[in-house]
Amino acid sequence: MKYEIILDENTYVSGIIHNGDERDIYDDEFIFNTFYKDGHRVKCYHLVDGEFVLDEVKEQEEIAKEQVEQEIARLKTELTQYDYIGTKLAMGVATKEEYAEQIAYTETIREQIRELENFRTEIEEPKEV
């Protein structure tokens, strides 16, 4: 198969697509050895003087973003384990006092989610040079 490497406006790899044309085409071996062999993130490669170079700072930023996203997802999943409390309260079969400890804990989870979402926004905003 032949592939075309798509670059963004800053000449970072933004994608790799299968292509039947003969312009700027790379084969399976080149794609694997350049981008996937060492487990680096494809979008962290930058075209410099005709060669693809790994931007290690950008890769660390991408890893941090992924970790934040994973933790937000984990916390949201944990939060759903307490949904039954709201149902019980709404149906009148339980009181807030009975579930005060769990309700307080869910608020700490929500606060952690908000902090991570704020952090995510900070690291995603473009840096001024």
Q: pLDDT of 11-32, one tens digit each?
A: 899 888 877 655 567 777 888 8
| CA dihedral angle for residue 112, residue 113, residue 116, residue 121, rounded to 10 degrees | -150
Q: Quote the pLDDT of residue 38.
A: 77
pLDDT of residue 100: 97
Q: How far apart are CA 83 and CA 103, in angstroms?
A: 10
pLDDT of residue 126: 62
- At 70 the pLDDT is 97
pTM (whole model) above 0.75:
no
Residue-level pLDDT at 20 = 62
Q: What residues in the chain have per-residue pLDDT under 50?
A: none
Sign of CA dihedral 109, 110, 114, 117: positive
Predicted confidence at residue 128, as pLDDT, reads 60
DSSP 94: S
> Which pLDDT score, from 0 to 100, does residue 24 have?
61
Q: How much is the pLDDT for 23?
A: 57
